[in-house]
Amino acid sequence: MRAITRGRHTVRFTRDPEDVIAAQRLRFKAFIAARPGAAVTGDRAEGLDRDAYDDLCWHALVEDTESGELLCCFRMMRLSGGSEIGRSYSAQYYELSALADYPAPMVEMGRFCMAPGVRDPEVIRAAWGAMTAFVEAEGVGLLFGCSSFEGVDAEAYMDAFAYLKDKHLAPKRWLPRAKAPRVFAFAKALRLRRPDMKLAMRRMPPLLRSYLLLGGWVSDHAVIDSDLNTLHVFTGVEINRVPQARRRLMERLTGGGRTGPAGVPG
């Protein structure tokens, strides 16, 4: 797999230490500096959002082709199947034994962020095109990760959670169970609530909304993450269940750009 150039944006997958540090600096700006209440300790005091999982992942960098400016980044951890689910970042927060028998390769997508002030939708399209190309190249059956709501006040997102409860809970055979010490069990708490759809969509995080359009499903509870000052839900997308119209759209995002050499898993 090679770097993808789409319009004025290039996406590279890398493990180069300098590239990883650049991603960690961007993540700090997006996740820590821009979020009042996020803890600033350890590496964060140096302006880095860094953890042990960085060494286990490929890092995608979306750059301005002319200036080289880093506009967006995310990371991908490939697992050979469900037997490796315990290695994932998400396994810190969710009891994932139900996925231990998942029969196909999996990829955990995480730490997706944009540079502060970047609003160009073409950056998002380039990122999703690269993610789709990675999934196709690796023969992935399940794309998963944690989708975050800003802040830890669940009250602000009740209609969004009620909608997730009604329409997008994980199949019972794959359903993650609670593991984190603090969770909001929204499927149980909101079992009788009917969502206001306009409010639900307005409060839904954009990345999670994209997953849902691909047929994604979520855990029945949200983890209260005081470290990053977020609420997050486990999110999964089974690739063979992505609606055909959406699949064609995603494939077009991978096919419309030029390719060039880059060090990426083969």
Is 126 within the bounds of a domain?
Answer: yes
Is 265 within the bounds of a domain?
Answer: no
Is 30 within the bounds of a domain?
Answer: yes
Structure confidence at residue 247 (pLDDT) = 87
The 8-class DSSP code of residue 182 comes to S
Structure confidence at residue 255 (pLDDT) = 61
> Do the Cβ atoms of 265 and 13 come closer than 8 Å?
yes
Is 254 within the bounds of a domain?
Answer: yes
Structure confidence at residue 32 (pLDDT) = 85
Structure confidence at residue 261 (pLDDT) = 34
Angstrom distances, CA of residue 173 to CA of 10, 190, 204, 254: 39, 22, 25, 32
Number of structural domains (the chain) is 1
CATH classification at residue 114? 3.40.630.30
Per-residue pLDDT of the chain (266 residues; tens, 9 = 90+): 578 888 899 999 999 999 999 999 999 999 988 777 677 777 777 889 999 999 999 999 999 999 999 999 999 999 999 999 999 999 999 999 999 999 999 999 999 999 998 989 999 999 999 999 999 989 999 999 999 999 999 999 999 999 999 999 999 999 999 999 999 999 999 999 999 999 999 999 999 999 999 999 999 999 999 888 999 999 999 999 999 999 888 888 876 444 333 333 33
* CB-count burial class (<10 Å; 0-12, 13-18, 19+) for 189: middle
Question: 164 CB contacts (<8 Å, ≥6 apart)?
Answer: 186, 218, 233
Structure confidence at residue 43 (pLDDT) = 74
Structure confidence at residue 15 (pLDDT) = 96
Is 35 within the bounds of a domain?
Answer: yes
Supply the range of the domain harboring residue 180.
3-260
Region for 162 from its dihedrals, namely left if φ exceeds 0, alpha if ψ lies in -120 to 50, beta otherwise? alpha
Structure confidence at residue 263 (pLDDT) = 35
